[in-house]
Amino acid sequence: MSPRLWPLPTARRVAELAGEVRRLTTAVERLEAMQRKDAEQLKKLRQTIEDGVALSRRSTEEAAASAIARQRDLEQLHASHRDQVLAEIDANHRIDAKWRKIFNNQLSALVRHLCLPLDQLKPPHSLNARRFRLRSQNEEDGILFAILERASWKTCRFVEIGSGKSGGSSAALAHECGWAGLMIELSPTSVGLARKKFAGNRLVTVVEAQVTPGNVNTLLAEHGYSGEVDVLSIDIDSYDYWILEALSVTSPRVLVLEYNALFGPERRVTIPVDQPLGSTPKGYGGASLAALADLAARKGYRLATCENTGVNAFFLRHDVAPDVPGVSPAEAFRPLRSRTELDDVEIATDIYAAIEKRKLPLAEV
């Protein structure tokens, strides 16, 4: 059996088939192009979405960080404001306490003057009972005037070494009594304020200088305060002992000396004359009352009294006011009543133990 033969397509049919193939090929190519385009668009869309998500994440993180930073800044601002308010309240409390103390002291001075038999009291009680505050810090004015009442006014001149901005123990003599005087102070700011304060008394000279044992006599002589003066006060919280020891050009009738009550009433001690004080704690300075009294006695002075806050001691030259007897350091000594300004608990509690612990020098005199 012979195989069956299919008839060959005609030329027309071949052409038709070729046309179908081309159309199919074109359709496939278009479909592939559309798929590629869709794929590219999808890729771009996916990248856009990813970029948007990343941007949103960054924005969210930045917003959160910014919010945290703002919150932190607000907290710091609130804390700073709170601390400032608390500091202002604390400062106002201190100022209020200071003026309450001053008012109470002034009121007590009036009560003592009206009620105590002052003319029947004997020194040193008759001197301390006269204490009051005009320009001084610790009611030294009244004691000084009581002493001068017995010693009489002779030269009406004073020297204040370490006057500060207030004028120190001699401020009332300059401001209220019109005395001539020399005020010496290290701080330029305090010198400027003192000059303004005492500008109404042309007899007062305020000098900016660091007083040392080596220059004290020259300073006083250069400004005309050699010889006798009625009052000399030394208050520099450091080398007071050594300045008094070196002093020779002038002869004060009344001495006012600041002593360091933390040293107690018995030991004769002072800081060494060459001791740097830049890094030492507050409270380490000056000399004990016994040391100053012993030195003053060698120079011809007797201890008359100490004011009640434990800061200043008053001495009389032996030929002045003989009716005012001398007292011993143990009798006159007053402990430091206010230690609020001392920033070192160890110094305020036991200065000798603190000095030994820190290996600070101390001179026995």
Q: Are 184 and 163 in contact (CB under 8 A)?
A: yes
* Short-list 205, 125, 192, CA closest to 161: 205
d(CA 114, CA 108): 10
Place of tokens 């400032």: 84
Return the pLDDT at 340.
53
Q: Are 166 and 196 in contact (CB under 8 A)?
A: no
Return the pLDDT at 7.
63
Per the DSSP assignment, residues forming a β-bridge with 205 are 182
Read off the tokens for 361: 């020098």
C-alpha 250: how far from its chain's center? 35
Return the pLDDT at 88.
82
d(CA 288, CA 223): 30
User: For residue 136, how many other CB atoms are within 10 A of its CB?
Assistant: 23
Phi, psi of 272 (to 5 degrees): -60, 155
**pTM strictly above 0.85:** no
d(CA 243, CA 218): 12
Per the DSSP assignment, residues forming a β-bridge with 258 are 312
Kindly report each contact of residues 292-298 with a partner whose C-beta sits within 8 Å and lies 24 or more positions away, as own/partner.
292/240, 292/241, 292/244, 292/257, 292/259, 293/328, 293/329, 293/332, 294/268, 294/365, 295/241, 295/244, 295/245, 295/365, 296/244, 296/255, 296/257
CA torsion, ordered 274, 185, 289, 359, to nearest 10 deg: -30
d(CA 12, CA 10): 5
d(CA 293, CA 327): 10
Q: In what order do the strands lie in the sheet containing 180-185?
A: 204-208, 180-185, 157-161, 227-234, 250-258, 312-317, 301-306
Phi, psi of 180 (to 5 degrees): -85, 145
Read off the tokens for 161: 């070494």
Q: Are 293 and 357 in contact (CB under 8 A)?
A: no
Place of tokens 């230690």: 339
Distances (CA, A) of 6 to 3, 9, 10, 18: 10, 9, 12, 20
d(CA 288, CA 268): 6
Measure the CA angle with vertex 256, ends 204 and 353; round to 5°.
Answer: 130
Read off the tokens for 354: 């603190």
Determine if the peptide bond prior to 9 is cis (ω within 30°): no
Return the pLDDT at 221.
98
pLDDT digits (tens, 9 = 90+) for 145-170: 999 999 999 999 999 999 999 999 99
User: For residue 38, how many other CB atoms are within 10 A of its CB?
Assistant: 10
Read off the tokens for 112: 């003592």
Beta strands in the chain (DSSP E): 157-161, 180-185, 204-208, 227-234, 250-258, 269-270, 301-306, 312-317, 363-364
Query: Residues of the chain whose pLDDT is less than 50?
Result: none
Question: For residues 143-162, b (16+ Cβ closer than 10 Å) or e, as one string?
Answer: bbbbbbebbeeeebbbbbbb
Length of the chain: 365
Read off the tokens for 301: 């002075």
pLDDT digits (tens, 9 = 90+) for 279-300: 888 889 999 999 999 999 999 9
- What is the widest separation between alpha-carbon atoms in the chain? 174
